[in-house]
Amino acid sequence: MMEVKLHDIGEGMTQADVLSLFVKAGDKVKPDQPLVEVQTDKMTAEIPAPFAGVIKEIKVDVGQTISVGTTIFLLESETKATNISYSENVEKTNFPLLKKGLTNTEQIQKKTAFRIMAAPYTRKIAREAGVNIEEINGTGSGGRITDEDVLRFIKRTDEIVDKQETHHEDYNSKNIRGNPAPIENTIPFKGRRKQIAHKMSQSLLTIPHCTHFEEVDVTEIINMRESWKKNNQSISASAIFVKAISTTLKEFPMFNARLNEKEETIELIEEHHIGIATNTDLGLIVPVIKNVEKKSLKEIHANLKDLTAKAQTNTLSIQEIKGSSFTISNVGPLGGSIGATPIINQPEVALISFHKTKKRPVVNDNDEIVVRSMMNISMSFDHRVVDGATAVSFTNRLTELLEQPNLLMMELV
C-alpha cells in the first residue's frame, strides 16, 4: 500500500484546494493517470498515479484545503511484490514513532508523520481546529508534537482572538446603538486570495516601502504607435514600457537585485526577468517575461499577449510565473488615473505602476499651453537597498526614454 500525497508542485507552495476527484475507491488506475485536480494560489495542476494499482481509500473531499504532505489516496499496487516490499521496509525501519500493535496502514501513517513528529490523531485535532501543525513547538520526546501541545496552542490562539473580539465589542457598544445586522453572505478566504494576502502582508512587514511619483508625457509614444499601425505593425504600450524598464535597469542595476540579509549581501541579477501583474477572475497573478534585455519589441509584445491569455484561462505553467527580478503593473486600462502605493513583489527591490493616460493642458518649454497625453507612474522601492535620490534618478531616466522614444530606439540599435 502506498500513500499518494500532495507534493510541492512549484514556488514553495504550502497548500492547495481540491477541485476535482477523477477516481473513486475501488477504481483501477494506470501509471500517470490523473487522480485529482488541485488549485494552488498560482495554478491548477493534476496529480497522477505513480504506478498501476487500485484506489483503496480516498482521504480528502472536493473543496477541502490541504497542506503539502497530506495523504490524498491509499493506492495498492497490482503486483504483490511491491506491497510486500513496502511493508517489510516499514517494519524493519527503526522510526522512534512506530509502536507495536499498529496496523500496516497506521505504521505507514506514523512513518509519514515523522518529519512533523506528530501522531495521526494529533494531526487530526490540529486539522479540525484549523491549526497549522507546523507552527507548534513539540514538547514530547525528540520534539514530538503531543495532543496537549496542540490543545495549548488552540487555547492560546483563542485567548488572543477573544481579546480582539472583546476590544471590538467594547468599541461597537460605545459607538453603535443596537445589535449589528447578521451576516448573510460570506466568501471563502482560501486558495489564491489567501496566498496573495499572506504574500502581501509578508512584504509589508519585511520591506520598508517608499513610493516615488512622477508624471510622464507619452504623446510621442502614442504618435509612434499610430504610425506603426498605418504600416500594419502593432506594438502595445505595455511592451514599450517593459523595454524602457529593461533599458533603465542596465544603468541602475541596484533595482534588478535582491537583498540577502542572512549573507549580508545585495545580489545583482544580470538577466531582466520582468513580472507583469495581471488581473484575473481568480485574483492577481504575475507571469514573467524572461530575458527582456535580449528581446526585441516584437518578441516582448508576443510574449505579453501569450502570457496574458494564459493568465486569463488559468493555464500558466510554473516556469511562466517564477523567477521575476522586477515587476510592473499597468493599471491604466482599468482606469487608475492618479496614483497608488504598490506593494513590492518580495524578494524584488522595486515595483512600478503605470496609470491611466489623459489629455491635459500643459506648458511647454516655450511657455505655450498645449494639449499633451500625460500619464502618472508610481514606483515603490525597498529603502534598505536604495535611497530616494537613486529612485528619482531611475524614474528620471525612465521618463526621458518614454517622453523621447527615439532615444529608446537608439538603445535598441
Amino acid, single-letter form, for residue 72: I
- The residue written with cell numbers 483501477 in the block is 28
Cβ-based neighbours of 77, under 8 Å, separated by 6 or more: 2, 51, 52, 53, 83
Q: Which of 67, 379, 330 is nearest to 194 (CA)?
A: 67
**Helices and strands (DSSP H and E) totals, the chain:** 10, 18
Amino acid, single-letter form, for residue 81: A
C-alpha separations of 343 from 208, 336, 337, 363 in Å: 10, 16, 18, 33
State how far Cα 253 lies from the chain centre. Answer: 24
Catalytic residue (choose from 167, 198, 301, 383): 383
Contact present, 300 and 412 (Cβ < 8 Å): no
Contact present, 290 and 15 (Cβ < 8 Å): no
Active-site residue 383, yes or no? Answer: yes
Cell, residue 86: 513496502
What residues are annotated to the active site? 383
